[in-house]
Amino acid sequence: MLLADVVITSSAVGATRSRKSKTEAIADLIRGAEPADIEPVVAWLAGETLQGRLGIGWRTLAGAKAIAAAEPAWTIAEVDQILSALAETSGAGSMARRKQLLADLMSKATVDEQEFLIRLLTGEIRHGALEGVMTDAIAKAAGLPLDVVRRAFMLSGRLPATASAAIVGGADALADFRLEVGRPVRPMLASPATSLADAHAAFGGDVSVEFKLDGARIQVHRNGDDVSIYTRTLNDITERVPELVQLVRALPCDSVVLDGETLALTDSGKPRPFQETMSRFGASSERELLLQPYFFDCIHLDGVDLLDEPLSQRLVALDRVAPDHRIPSLLRPDLAATEMHLDDALAGGHEGIMIKALDSVYAAGRRGKAWQKVKPEHTLDLIVLGAEWGYGRRTGYLSNLHLGARDPDGGEPIMVGKTFKGLTDELLRWQTEEFPKHERNRDDHTVYLNPSLVVEIELDGAQVSTRYPGKVALRFARVLRYRPDKTPAEADTLDAVRELLH
């Protein structure tokens, strides 16, 4: 298969808002690929390379750009080999070698292929092939039930490997994906509750009610003395959190996989600001700011996988292995006790509570109704699409944010409002320094960004509006914080905004 085939499909996917059309175009391409080409094809359409980040910037790529070839010639395999060579090149003379590899790559590429490669290598593939669309396309191309593909992706954590197994080996190959201690599983997510009473009643009171902490999601794996700790985006942070590694190593078990939150506390036991917890994830060494873990799920214990067991049984396992590190919770409380638990959570400086069905299995990567979050304020995780230059005391700073919700059909984010409220002087300085790194283009008043930054917005609700393309607008939106632990693929959808109309 040629690189040109991927470029054509990418263009077709980007040109339509129809999820069905995107899915069919990608499925056709995957179905027609040689077995060895499936993994790079899927990775590229998802906006990634199999080799991960290659550390190649716009300036280097611009210098490598050559007179375009008249006809397509590059095969998928050939391009993938060059990307592997780029990833493996290091040491003395590596800069010259990488420039030569890029020059060779660009000189044999057509104009459209050059543009695609530049966007791929800089992480700017923005044609709406998000995980949901890609998973649908893989299932369609392989002729397999979507749930089978989703489960395999949950356990493998890698779309390319999932696609290759589905096409080449079918359902049997996908069934071979198991929970593997040391390989992160995509985390289960929660949906906002319409109200505390509704969420409690939805499960007939057969629930676990837990504090919703203002911390960072972690997933802990231990096999013997080997411990790995991952973020919600499956990044390995083991070396940055030695105090957590030491704690997990001391648990009374041989192997375990735990899901939970971690946060830094003040001397009085209150949670420190979320940004302080996240600062530890970016540190190269342990600091005085120690993290405390709070676990709420156990999906593997001493050789037994618990993903398909009900939450009630997973909590028994959690009590067995980490009773001193349980998140504050109640089992089968009545409505009055649930309301009191919410009051206790808020008094402790936490966000709210989670209400979880005790018969629910661990369904990773999806916002189902089995877990519902109850918070006193409406909040949404939205994508920053741009920022306007401020005036008055904000002159010289990027201030008024353009906010977008994720398109549930995989298209570009859809603008749903603006806000400059909640921005501290520190955030204004940070935005002005950081936003140009994500710039797509600008005019005299606004810097428009590639959709890469997620911000948590507090709001009073939503209203019908013809001002924005989603026909809905945020009411009294204000910035709470940025979410470096979330990718745009995890932002809230336009459907979540529309639900606030009610």
Tell me whether residue 217 is annotated as binding.
Answer: yes
Question: What residue type is assigned to position 455 of the chain?
Answer: V
Q: Is 326 assigned to a binding site? A: no
Asked if 379 contacts 422 with a C-beta cutoff of 8 angstroms, the reply is no
Q: Tell me whether strands 189-192 and 367-374 are parallel, antiparallel or unpaired.
A: parallel
**Residue 318 — φ and ψ, nearest 5°?**
-65, -40
Burial class of residue 104 in the structure, from the number of CB atoms within 10 Å of its CB (0-12 exposed, 13-18 middle, 19+ buried): middle
* Catalytic choice (22, 108, 140, 212): 212
**Distant-in-sequence, close-in-space partners of 402: CB < 8 Å, separation ≥ 6:** 384, 385, 386, 387, 388, 415, 418, 446, 448
Given the structure tokens 């209150």, which residue do they identify? Answer: 270
Beta-carbon neighbour count of residue 466 at 10 Å?
A: 8
Say whether 277 sits in a helix, a strand or coil: helix
Both structure tokens of 487: 């990718």
- C-alpha to C-alpha distance for 244 and 228, rounded to whole angstroms: 10
**Does the active-site annotation cover 486?**
no
Exposed, middle or buried: residue 95 (CB in 10 Å: 0-12, 13-18, 19+)?
exposed
- Residues 117, 107 contacting (CB under 8 angstroms): no
Axis crossing angle, helix 131-142 with helix 146-156, rounded to the nearest 10: 120
CA nearest neighbour of 457 among 498, 411, 404: 404
Largest interatomic CA distance in the chain = 72
The rounded distance, in Å, linking the Cα atoms of 362 and 370 is: 9
Amino acid occupying residue 195: S
Q: Which has the closest alpha carbon to 409: 137, 213, 202, 141?
A: 137
| 367 annotated to a ligand binding site | yes
Tokens representing 112 are: 């459209």
Phi, psi of 86 (to 5 degrees): -65, -40
SS3 439: strand
Beta bridge partners of 473: 463
**Annotated binding-site residue? 232:** yes
Residue 59 labeled ligand binder: no
User: Would you list which residues are annotated within the binding site?
Assistant: 210, 217, 232, 261, 296, 367, 373
- Active-site residue numbers? 212
User: Would you list which residues are annotated within the binding site for ATP?
Assistant: 210, 217, 232, 261, 296, 367, 373
